[in-house]
Amino acid sequence: MAKSGNSANAFSDVTKLTDALFGAYSMVDPSAVPGLDVPRNILGEAEEFSKRWLARRQDAARSTLTTSAAVIAGGVADPSATLRALSDWQAQSVSRATEDVRDWFEFCNRCAAHFANSTPGGSVPGASSRARQKGRHATPL
C-alpha cells in the first residue's frame, strides 16, 4: 500500500507536469489570437462565392434551354432567328464567364485581406525579408 507522503509527491508531480504542458499557453503571443478567426472567415467567403457561382450556372442552364427551344422553333424556316438566339446565348455566356473571373479575383482579395488583417501590422512577419534573401519572385499559376 502506498504511503500518504507518496501520494502528495505524485500529486505534486502531476501539477508540475500540467504546468509544464499548459504553462506554454501563457507564452503565446496575444496578437496571434485574431488569426484563429481566419479559417472561419475564409469559409464564409467561400460559401458566398459558391452561392454566386451556382446561381450563374443555373442561369446558364436556363439560358441554354431557352436557346435550344428558340433554335428548334425557328429551325430551317427562319435561319436569322436561329442566329439571333445563338448570338444572344453566346453574349450571355461571355458575360457570365467575365463575372466568374471578376468574382474569383474579388474572392481571392478578400481571403488575402483576412490573412493580412490577422497579423500585427497587416503583414506576415519576415515575409519581405525572406523574399529579398531568396531574390526570386513567386511563380505564377
CA 120 to chain centre: 21
pTM: 0.58
What backbone torsions phi and psi does residue 91 show, to the nearest 5 degrees? -60, -40
Question: Quick count: other Cβ atoms within 10 Å of Cβ 114?
Answer: 19
What mean pLDDT value characterizes the chain? 77
Q: What's the CA angle centered on 123, arms 118 and 128, to 5 degrees?
A: 155
Per-residue pLDDT tens digits for 1-54? 455 556 667 767 767 766 665 555 555 555 556 567 888 889 999 999 999 999
Nearest to 35 by CA among 106, 93, 122: 122
Closest by Cα among 81, 80, 59 to 69: 81
Each domain of the chain, given as residue ranges in start order, spans 35-119
Nearest CA to 31 among 121, 141, 127? 121
Contacts of 124 (CB under 8 A, 6+ apart): 115, 116
